[in-house]
Chain A
Amino acid sequence: MEEKPLKKPQESKSVKKTITAQKAPEFTYKPFQLQQFSCVGKSVLKIDGISLARGRALFTDDFQIPQVHYVKFLYSPHAHARILKIDTSGAEKIPGVVDIIHCFNSPQTLHTTAGQGYPEPSPYDTMMFNSTVRFIGDKVAAVLARTPQIADKALKLIKVEYELLPPLFDFEKAYEPGAPQLHPEPGKGYLAGMTYKPEENTCALVEINCGNFEAGIKMSDYTFDETFYTHYASHAMLEPHAVLSYLDEQDRLVIISSTQVPFHARRICAMILGIPERRIRVIKPRIGGGFGCKQEVFLEYYAAYFTLRTGLPAKIVLTRREVFRSTRYRHPMRLHLRVGTKPDGTLQAIWIDALMNNGAYGTHGLTVLSNAGSKVLPLVNKAPHQRFTGRTVYTNLPIAGAYRGYGATQGYFALNQMFDIIADRLNLDVVELFRKNAIRRGETSPIFEKLGEGKAGSRQDIESCGLPDCIEVGLKEIDWYAKRRKRLTDGTRVRGVGMACMMQGSGIPRVDMGSAYMKMNEDGSINLQVGATDLGTGSDTILAQIAAETLMVPIEDIIVKSSDTDFTPFDVGAYASSTTFVSGCAVLRCAQQIREQILGVAAEILREPAESLQMAQKTVRGKARALTFREICQYALYTENQFQIQASSSYVSPVSPPPFSAHFVEVEVDRATGDVRVIKYIAAVDCGTPINPRLVEGQVEGAIVNGISWTLIEEFRFDEKGAQLNTDFGRYKLFTAADIPEIKTILIPTYEPNGPYGAKSVSEVAMNGPAPAIANAIYDAIGIRFRALPITAEKVFQTLKTQSTR
């Protein structure tokens, strides 16, 4: 299409322009008055906190079982090769080696490891062991042995004959004619029939049009065209993946796993192993962080298969090197944005075109891609003409999967820089640009309806939105107008400020389901059993708070158990920012039923109508007298019309209310070294009612530091054969406590009518801010825009050296 010539804004050559729009407006923010709750909204102590801090809480590898044997994997040394022959005879002779499995003696069942609901919106393109290996780190064989050392020794004696195939590393060339084909085998693709083009190495294609982009861009006064790149990253949760499987006394298969999705794990294992779900019990103990990496079900079935074959307990504990090389990572993306605006910056048309690298297999290839549009475009709903196109391709590189932010992180890196570019070109305050274009309460976006997770989405109106307040409070806190475009300089060091706006969702509407079961005990305590999966987030605690609030009991009286497929009801698990909202609503509904039953029993005892009774502090007060919860429960269990006070409830939401956030950052760039130091980071967050403010802040701060670290220092380095070079924390550095800037989280409460006690999600949204906010701040400081991540000191230094600034 013809590029419309840009109208030249005034004074565009001047660097330090005086900008009339950038005066500090009057500060008018008045905090929303939170409804007074007894337990919700309080920073109660995380219920498993002390046991974790004492080292008593058990993680998967802490379970010790007699006779346990260990699993070790043989990984492909080639990026792309066909396995012709595997000779295990030498390895089998080693004393202590019990069993060896590989593609010639294990189930060849196509599936996806994505760990999503059924039928998964990810292509079925992998097997336990594939006879073609597609990246350095693909599993070739597994050994079960008495000790990990014996298993390691056996691996060295397995002889594999490979036929090398040409590798494909450049994802931008993956769909060109003549590129090596990674998945030519027939039968691969989506259960639900989504577009799958293996002949173009393409595992997902998306196209959505709202309005008419071409017409919109023609009508625009200014057009912008930019390309951005985001990179691979490791989740780097501290606990490496672990699985322990064994047969219980009834020969049922028990799988203890560091999983975010115990119920999906059960379903996928049943399918691969060819046994019914009734024979499998998946237990989720304490989990040492996940961030999406443990949503994938790619280890459980190896341990389980060994246990079924040998009758022996089997344990897998990945090393950090294995976590870096053979698990899942953030999807690298190329984002091409075209935007048309009016002279005042109002968006007329926006098109996001995303090309995503999924690595060797297509897990989350369609949905992460879609989220780069579906979680991003609705934020700028003022543009009448919106378009999202995307393609996900295979390469012979490590497998990408779910990672906190899930495509939105990549999309917001592009959108927020685009806004900064537009503001700069039109001589506007970027904050004003967001005020003009961002979605508000009472509004909607057609994208919600058109673009879902592998299918059409779900229409929704925004019923709570604190974004304008987030912006206003953040501006003040960073002192925006005193610092923006000032380039405060000290020797070689220059300061700049940048900002970013973002949203996420709260679960997948009409897809994600959570459920809860509760029963009352004689002392008035309540067992709360949830399939929701606390992986360190504190979801057990906030779900207990929701229950305690509803039943007016102290939090200590809620005994939480999560998650055990034998004893807790179904929940999709911890992903898509769903737990607080979806599982929280299930708990709320369940607790309301318990409340009614308690009042019903009290009414029977007191012979008063239930409606006239008051519940408070573990008592029910009638006209005549008050009953304690103990009296009520004892009556229900022992006295008359006996029954167990108990209830269960499920919840699936037609909507996915977005949490909103505005981030502001001040950086200091050393022009002599290229070093970028984050000085101050402000995150103002609207997650509705913060059920537990401390835990909310923790989610935000964790995401911010993860994001800063990803932006500035984390980077996968590959050699020319496709092998990742930095597979330990010595060479893949993370931010430490000594590296963090001053970080301030400001909660901007709103009340989301669809959420439990007004709550929305918060776990992912803050991940979307650091990369673009920092890139924008660097531009503010030195006038150089970094469109590709990461922005390492080395890269800044090189760019400063070679590029003359404006």
Chain B
Amino acid sequence: MQVKLTVNGETNTFKIQPGETLLETLRAAGYTGVKCGCEAGDCGACLVLLNDLPVNSCQVLTAAIADEAVTTIEGLSRDSLANLIQQELVAAGGVQCGFCTPGIVVSATALLRANPHPNRAEIQQALASHLCRCTGYVKIIEGIQNVARRL
């Protein structure tokens, strides 16, 4: 079947299989910054914005979101807030293997768009849907705090 989607501002028709998830559709279309860590909505590596709200793309059926707008990490490449988050995460040491990072960048972008000055607890809550085994989260939180300080 075919589904029309707007991905990163560009509207295209995607050929999909029945039951295909948005994660599968996006990765097959080359948006490989969207990572697959668990396919169960537990890890947050596949997080994207659906109509500007963060969702785990592995939990969304592509067929169910026809004509809606999706933003992936690739779509944030010229977003000044996302770029700042990326810089600060790297500067803080919040990026190790980097597999969870794109999802976290998308999440943090959504958080800081809605609330440019979150406290530590709010940052922790926003990140609670992401798993990271490398950093222990300390420097990811620090990086996002540093972004908030600069906004």
- Is B138 an interface position by the 8 A CB rule? yes
A32-70 vs B, Cβ < 8 Å mask (1 yes, 0 no):
000000000001011011101111111101101000000
Instruction: Answer whether A702 and B96 are a contact pair too, CB < 8 Å, given A55-B102, A738-B128.
Output: yes
Instruction: Answer whether A53 and B136 are a contact pair too, CB < 8 Å, given A45-B91, A728-B40, A729-B40.
Output: no
**B 29-60 contacts with A by CB, 8 A:** 30, 32-40, 42-43, 45
Q: Determine if B86 and A701 form an interchain contact, defined as CB atoms under 8 angstroms apart.
A: no
- Is A237 an interface position by the 8 A CB rule? yes
Q: Which partner residue on chain B sits nearest A289 by CB separation?
A: B97
**How far is it, in angstroms, between the C-alpha of A697 and the C-alpha of B138 when the chains are bound?**
10
Q: Determine if A237 and B133 form an interchain contact, defined as CB atoms under 8 angstroms apart.
A: yes
Q: Which partner residue on chain B sits nearest A62 by CB separation?
A: B32
- Is B11 an interface position by the 8 A CB rule? no
Q: Determine if B40 and A320 form an interchain contact, defined as CB atoms under 8 angstroms apart.
A: yes
- Our pick among B98, B100, B132, B141 for the contact of A49 (Cβ within 8 Å) is B98
Q: Which residues of B contact A734 (CB under 8 A)?
A: 131, 133
**A 695-734 contacts with B by CB, 8 A:** 695, 697-698, 701-706, 728-730, 734
Q: Which residues of A contact B115 (CB under 8 A)?
A: none
Q: Determine if B96 and A289 form an interchain contact, defined as CB atoms under 8 angstroms apart.
A: yes
Q: Determine if A694 and B86 form an interchain contact, defined as CB atoms under 8 angstroms apart.
A: no
Nearest-Cβ distance from residue B33 to partner chain A, whole angstroms = 2
**How far is it, in angstroms, between the C-alpha of A58 and the C-alpha of B137 when the chains are bound?**
23
- Is A81 an interface position by the 8 A CB rule? no
Q: Which residues of A contact B86 (CB under 8 A)?
A: 50, 53-54
Q: Which residues of B contact A743 (CB under 8 A)?
A: 136, 138
- Our pick among B45, B90, B136 for the contact of A706 (Cβ within 8 Å) is B136
Nearest-Cβ distance from residue B137 to partner chain A, whole angstroms = 4
- Is A639 an interface position by the 8 A CB rule? no
Nearest-Cβ distance from residue B106 to partner chain A, whole angstroms = 9
Q: Which residues of A contact B87 (CB under 8 A)?
A: 50
Q: Determine if B138 and A288 form an interchain contact, defined as CB atoms under 8 angstroms apart.
A: no
- Is A310 an interface position by the 8 A CB rule? no
- Is A516 an interface position by the 8 A CB rule? no
- Is A149 an interface position by the 8 A CB rule? yes
Q: Determine if A43 and B93 form an interchain contact, defined as CB atoms under 8 angstroms apart.
A: yes
Q: Is the interface of A mostly helix, strand, loop or mixed?
A: loop
B67-85 vs A, Cβ < 8 Å mask (1 yes, 0 no):
0000011100100000001
Q: Determine if A536 and B43 form an interchain contact, defined as CB atoms under 8 angstroms apart.
A: no
**B 79-137 contacts with A by CB, 8 A:** 85-87, 89-93, 95-102, 105, 123-125, 127-137
Q: Determine if A55 and B33 form an interchain contact, defined as CB atoms under 8 angstroms apart.
A: yes
Q: Which partner residue on chain A sits nearest B83 by CB separation?
A: A54
Q: Determine if B99 and A239 form an interchain contact, defined as CB atoms under 8 angstroms apart.
A: yes
Instruction: Answer whether A58 and B32 are a contact pair too, CB < 8 Å, given A320-B39, A737-B124.
Output: yes
Q: Determine if A702 and B17 form an interchain contact, defined as CB atoms under 8 angstroms apart.
A: no
Q: Which partner residue on chain B sits nearest A148 by CB separation?
A: B24
**How far is it, in angstroms, between the C-alpha of A737 and the C-alpha of B45 when the chains are bound?**
14
Interface residues on A, range: 35 or more
Instruction: Answer whether A730 and B74 are a contact pair too, CB < 8 Å, given A239-B97, A738-B128.
Output: no
**How far is it, in angstroms, between the C-alpha of A743 and the C-alpha of B43 when the chains are bound?**
22
Instruction: Answer whether A238 and B131 are a contact pair too, CB < 8 Å, given A64-B30, A538-B96.
Output: yes
Instruction: Answer whether A737 and B93 are a contact pair too, CB < 8 Å, given A54-B86, A55-B33.
Output: no
Q: Which partner residue on chain B sits nearest A45 by CB separation?
A: B90
Q: Which partner residue on chain A sits nearest B127 by CB separation?
A: A737
Q: Which residues of B contact A235 (CB under 8 A)?
A: 133
Q: Determine if A54 and B127 form an interchain contact, defined as CB atoms under 8 angstroms apart.
A: no
Q: Give the number of residues in B that approach A within 8 Å (Cβ atoms).
A: 54
Nearest-Cβ distance from residue B48 to partner chain A, whole angstroms = 11
Q: Determine if B96 and A729 form an interchain contact, defined as CB atoms under 8 angstroms apart.
A: no
Q: Which partner residue on chain A sits nearest B125 by CB separation?
A: A738
- Our pick among B33, B42, B97 for the contact of A56 (Cβ within 8 Å) is B33
Instruction: Answer whether A54 and B33 are a contact pair too, CB < 8 Å, given A702-B136, A737-B137.
Output: yes
- Our pick among A55, A289, A694, A736 for the contact of B134 (Cβ within 8 Å) is A289
- Is B139 an interface position by the 8 A CB rule? yes
Q: Which residues of A contact B37 (CB under 8 A)?
A: 238-240, 320
Q: Determine if A730 and B40 form an interchain contact, defined as CB atoms under 8 angstroms apart.
A: yes
Q: Which partner residue on chain A sits nearest B19 by CB separation?
A: A149
Q: Determine if B77 and A701 form an interchain contact, defined as CB atoms under 8 angstroms apart.
A: no
- Our pick among B35, B93, B133, B141 for the contact of A697 (Cβ within 8 Å) is B93
Nearest-Cβ distance from residue B111 to partner chain A, whole angstroms = 12
Q: Determine if A288 and B99 form an interchain contact, defined as CB atoms under 8 angstroms apart.
A: yes
Q: Which residues of B contact A740 (CB under 8 A)?
A: 124, 136-138
Q: Which of B90, B99, B136 counts the most chain A CB atoms within 10 A?
A: B136
Q: Which residues of A contact B95 (CB under 8 A)?
A: 46, 49, 52-53
- Is B140 an interface position by the 8 A CB rule? yes
Q: Determine if A694 and B93 form an interchain contact, defined as CB atoms under 8 angstroms apart.
A: yes
Q: Which partner residue on chain A sits nearest B123 by CB separation?
A: A737
Q: Which residues of A contact B91 (CB under 8 A)?
A: 45
Q: Which residues of A contact B133 (CB under 8 A)?
A: 235-238, 289, 291, 702, 706, 734
A459-498 vs B, Cβ < 8 Å mask (1 yes, 0 no):
0000000000000000000000000000000000000000
Q: Which partner residue on chain A sits nearest B129 by CB separation?
A: A736
Q: Which partner residue on chain B sits nearest A51 by CB separation?
A: B98
Q: Determine if A238 and B93 form an interchain contact, defined as CB atoms under 8 angstroms apart.
A: no
Nearest-Cβ distance from residue A544 to partner chain B, whole angstroms = 15
- Our pick among A50, A56, A58, A736 for the contact of B90 (Cβ within 8 Å) is A50
- Is A319 an interface position by the 8 A CB rule? yes
Nearest-Cβ distance from residue B25 to partner chain A, whole angstroms = 14
Q: Determine if B130 and A59 form an interchain contact, defined as CB atoms under 8 angstroms apart.
A: no
Q: Determine if B93 and A698 form an interchain contact, defined as CB atoms under 8 angstroms apart.
A: yes
**How far is it, in angstroms, between the C-alpha of A48 and the C-alpha of B74 when the chains are bound?**
17
Q: Determine if B137 and A705 form an interchain contact, defined as CB atoms under 8 angstroms apart.
A: yes
Nearest-Cβ distance from residue A481 to partner chain B, whole angstroms = 26
**How far is it, in angstroms, between the C-alpha of A705 and the C-alpha of B131 when the chains are bound?**
12
Q: Determine if A238 and B136 form an interchain contact, defined as CB atoms under 8 angstroms apart.
A: no
Instruction: Answer whether A695 and B93 are a contact pair too, CB < 8 Å, given A238-B99, A238-B131.
Output: yes
Instruction: Answer whether A697 and B139 are a contact pair too, CB < 8 Å, given A54-B86, A730-B40, A738-B124.
Output: yes
- Is A633 an interface position by the 8 A CB rule? no
- Our pick among B73, B92, B124 for the contact of A55 (Cβ within 8 Å) is B73
Q: Determine if B17 and A536 form an interchain contact, defined as CB atoms under 8 angstroms apart.
A: no
**How far is it, in angstroms, between the C-alpha of A697 and the C-alpha of B94 when the chains are bound?**
10
Nearest-Cβ distance from residue B141 to partner chain A, whole angstroms = 6
Instruction: Answer whether A236 and B131 are a contact pair too, CB < 8 Å, given A58-B32, A706-B136.
Output: yes
**How far is it, in angstroms, between the C-alpha of A287 and the C-alpha of B97 when the chains are bound?**
6
- Is A286 an interface position by the 8 A CB rule? yes
Q: Which residues of B contact A697 (CB under 8 A)?
A: 93, 138-139
Instruction: Answer whether A53 and B98 are a contact pair too, CB < 8 Å, given A239-B35, A734-B131, A734-B133.
Output: yes
Nearest-Cβ distance from residue A38 to partner chain B, whole angstroms = 20
Nearest-Cβ distance from residue B120 to partner chain A, whole angstroms = 10
A249-292 vs B, Cβ < 8 Å mask (1 yes, 0 no):
00000000000000000000000000000000000001111010
Q: Determine if A729 and B73 form an interchain contact, defined as CB atoms under 8 angstroms apart.
A: no
Q: Which residues of B contact A64 (CB under 8 A)?
A: 30, 32
A231-247 vs B, Cβ < 8 Å mask (1 yes, 0 no):
00001111110000000
Q: Determine if B92 and A694 form an interchain contact, defined as CB atoms under 8 angstroms apart.
A: yes
A155-181 vs B, Cβ < 8 Å mask (1 yes, 0 no):
000000000000000000000000000
Q: Determine if A55 and B32 form an interchain contact, defined as CB atoms under 8 angstroms apart.
A: yes
**A 513-543 contacts with B by CB, 8 A:** 535-538
Q: Which residues of A contact B93 (CB under 8 A)?
A: 43, 46, 694-695, 697-698
Q: Can you list the 3 inter-chain pairs with the closest CB atoms, starting with the nearest?
A: A55-B33, A536-B97, A52-B98
17 contacts between A and B (CB under 8 A): A49-B89, A53-B95, A59-B32, A149-B17, A236-B133, A238-B45, A239-B37, A240-B36, A287-B97, A288-B98, A289-B96, A289-B133, A320-B40, A697-B138, A702-B96, A705-B138, A738-B127
Given contacts A53-B98, A736-B130, 18 further A-B contacts (CB under 8 A): A43-B93, A49-B90, A50-B86, A55-B101, A238-B43, A238-B97, A238-B100, A240-B36, A286-B97, A291-B133, A320-B37, A537-B96, A695-B93, A698-B96, A728-B38, A730-B42, A736-B137, A737-B130
Identify the B interface with A (CB < 8 A): 17, 27, 30, 32-40, 42-43, 45, 72-74, 77, 85-87, 89-93, 95-102, 105, 123-125, 127-141
